Amino acid sequence: MAVASEYSVHQLLQALLDEHLTEPARAFWTKAQSQIVDGARGQAFANLLAMASRHAKRQPLGLTDTELAAAEGALPGWSPRAWNRLELLRINLILVRPDLEQASFAEEFEALFRFADEGETCALYRSLPLLPRGERFTWRAAEACRTNMLTVFEAVALDSPYPVTHFDDTAWHQLVIKALFLDCPLYRVSGLDQRLTPELTRMALDWAEERHSAGRHYHLGLWLCLGPHHPERVRQFLDTHWPEATTMEQQAMLLAAARAGQAQWLASVEPADPKVLPYWQNATAGRSEQAQFAPLFAERPSA
């Protein structure tokens, strides 16, 4: 499938429907789309979201690099790479509503959460960055960050520019620290580089020191939370943990040191391990943005 980089989100989603849905599912989509445009609301609309599960399964889309690049080009910070086919169908049903900007939609959207199952709930949350006037749904998005359901939390927290765009500092910090606590792949928290605040670094260091005192290990995500703040504390933390760090932890620590502006520390630890050396070279060259951490999470099931 060829996807032009200049695709809009709407065009990209239509292309994904054509590419990834079966013929019966596309027939359902065409009929349901017509019903929604003609005014299917309330329970009728909720029924269409529920009935979608008869026509599309929770199978990964398996998007190509070209499709992923088109998504990033259409909406920076957004990616449907974790979507399944059923979510693709349900989110398109939501987005086809002609009243998306009206109060009636906001009221119905909120009502849908009350009776939604887990799959429907994830689809509703994944639609947030694609809805107009997203500021109407910040309370709802923050609710997802308080859940203990990992799938629901990740539907809001990962691959979406919604939190970094609409969350205040308190909600943003809570999201990142919870992602750290849940061992989520933090390199997929869109905008982390732009909102790496002193408070966030302090909270991450507090969390890590508590775990160290309890004899527990750190998640790799910790190292993405260290920015150019609290330099003495960060330097001490790096000094303490470098000797006992695994190869993967050393790779992450080098990138973290660069993010924290620890140039002298980087110069003092030139590694000989060929698996670690490329990360040291990237770090000393200033290539330490969150995307640089992606290979470290590549073999993790949730990444």
The sign of the CA dihedral 208, 210, 213, 219 is: negative
DSSP-derived 3-state class of residue 58: coil
For 278, residues 6+ apart whose C-beta sits below 8 A from its C-beta are none
The pTM is what?
0.93
Q: Nearest Cα to 158, choosing from 146, 176, 138?
A: 176
**H or E stretch covering 11:** helix 9-20
Asked if residues 101 and 94 have their Cβ atoms less than 8 Å apart, the reply is no
179: left (phi over 0), alpha (psi -120 to 50) or beta: alpha
**H or E stretch covering 132:** none
Distance CA 93, CA 95 (A): 6
Query: What is the per-residue pLDDT for 258?
Result: 97
pLDDT tens track, the chain, 303 positions: 444 456 799 999 999 999 999 999 999 999 999 999 999 999 999 999 999 999 999 999 999 999 999 999 999 999 999 999 999 999 999 999 999 999 999 999 999 999 999 999 999 999 999 999 999 999 999 999 999 899 999 999 999 999 999 999 999 999 999 999 999 999 999 999 999 999 999 999 999 999 988 988 888 999 999 999 999 999 999 999 999 999 999 999 999 999 999 999 999 998 989 999 999 999 999 999 999 999 998 855 444
SS3 percent helix, strand, coil of the chain, rounded to 5, is 65, 0, 35
Distance CA 177, CA 191 (A): 14
Distance CA 63, CA 83 (A): 9
Q: Nearest Cα to 136, choosing from 108, 114, 170?
A: 108
Please state at what angle helix 23-37 crosses helix 42-51, rounded to 10 degrees. Answer: 170
Tokens of 17: 């429907």
Q: Nearest Cα to 159, choosing from 86, 78, 66?
A: 78
Q: Which residue has tokens 């003495």?
A: 232
Q: Which residue has tokens 């906001």?
A: 106
Tokens of 42: 């309330």
**CA 213 remoteness from chain centre:** 30
